Structure 1
Amino acid sequence: MKAILLAAGRGSRLGTATDTHPKCYVSLHGRPLVRWQIEALTAAGIGEIAVVRGYLADFWDRQELPVSRFFTNDRWQQTNMVASLACADDWLAAAPCVVSYTDIVYSPGSVRRLMAAPGDIAITYDPNWLSLWSRRFADPLDDAETFRVDARGRLVEIGARPKSLAEVEGQYMGLLRLTPAGWRTVTDYLGGLPAAEADRLDMTGLLSRLLSRGVEIQAVPIADPWCEVDQPSDLTVAERIFSPAGGIVGR
């Protein structure tokens, strides 16, 4: 199986930390986030990894990474994450791919569980999200999205603004897996949208719209600790979760 790292955006919420390098080169325990992702994917058995770049695209040419291919979203400033994903169309159409955000850190076990999930579209989620969000935000609902699954582990709702904790059964982690058939489902939907609307579409928005069309999406609960680095204070949280050697300290 292959993997695609989505690294086109700047990460403006990190302020000056991304002035000279892409967001995924923010350092955690002396190593850029992208190194943590590549190591987890490789340890899980991923054979080839591609990067979709955009902001400071030339930066990647100076790095030594075990990356098989680069795709470039030249319109990264005018588009969102789904448009970046579409830049890797030929990989997605040819073989199953794990797709990863590049502002997250996770375990190889999380990747393996996602790889083994049934269905053509699958995502990982954290059912114990409140513990992590309470460390990141004064009010966890300020940055949470609705998330519900059914008794068979299929996603039934994602991406809306929750009014209460009861509407949030977990949080999407930024890891998904698509088979070629799953990607065709996505491209068929995107092909029916006006170009400007497709450009603005983010990942949870896409997943929500697919659900409304009856598309089945498998939701895989993850018990391993993980983290997201979206603002400077998230790095402090991440440092307490993951050890400098790459091991997990705790939630």
Structure 2
Amino acid sequence: MFPTAAGEAFLTGARRALEEMAAATIDAGRAARGETGRLRLGFIASVLLDALPDVLGRFGRERPDVRLELREMASGRSAAALLAGELDVAVTLGPPRGAGVEHLVSVPVGHDHLIAVVSSAHPYQGRVSVSVDQWRRQPLIVAPVEDESAVAAGLRTLLGEDAVALDGATVARDVHTIIGLAACGVGVGLGPSRMLSAPRPGVWFCEVTPRTALPDLVLSFADRDRSPVLGAFLGTVRRNCPDVGAALDRRFGHA
């Protein structure tokens, strides 16, 4: 007994429907495990000097089908984008500020302090440390501080009455520019100790005394975000950065 033409058409359609249902089930399972989807991450440039590359590299290997949308932003902008729902995760200098921050989970992912960088031809070359009194009269190179008020406040506190030196400082876009300008002999570059992760010929790094802490690098996300992709990303962060995992556990009340 052979099926009619109508029966053949029905069987073909039924098989196709079953195959599509099986594929949809597989796709749904992958999405539920955070193996597909999109993650939007805002970050400041200097975070690429240490923690973020390892995390992104591992996450990319573990979740090759997740689309990463990476956006370099100043801390104030990325915090605002996170609060507006335009980002899933933000890494900022200091915790996000503004209306709605009570709905964010924020944990430190890096601690830092102020250091100086000079050219190898500078008189400070070879010094282990330089004091505020030594560099306060030097031409300075600093990162923009429009939305990093804690950094600006720390520098102005250090300089005291000579804080006017900051008003005439060369403003660099990021830590790589600070190092490059210092190498050119423009002045004394002041920046985070993360700069030590970006050595280059022709420069010398010095500790600054007194030791001055800078705002923490902070990872933030919406506390109501239950996205599997975000969960997978945080899992990668936990495996790469145990201290951050412990902070997340404390935040969520886990043992």
TM range (shorter): under 0.3
Higher relative contact order (CA 8 A, sep 6+): 2
TM-score (norm 2): 0.26
TM-score (norm 1): 0.26
Task: Please state which structure has a larger fraction of its residues in helix.
Answer: 2
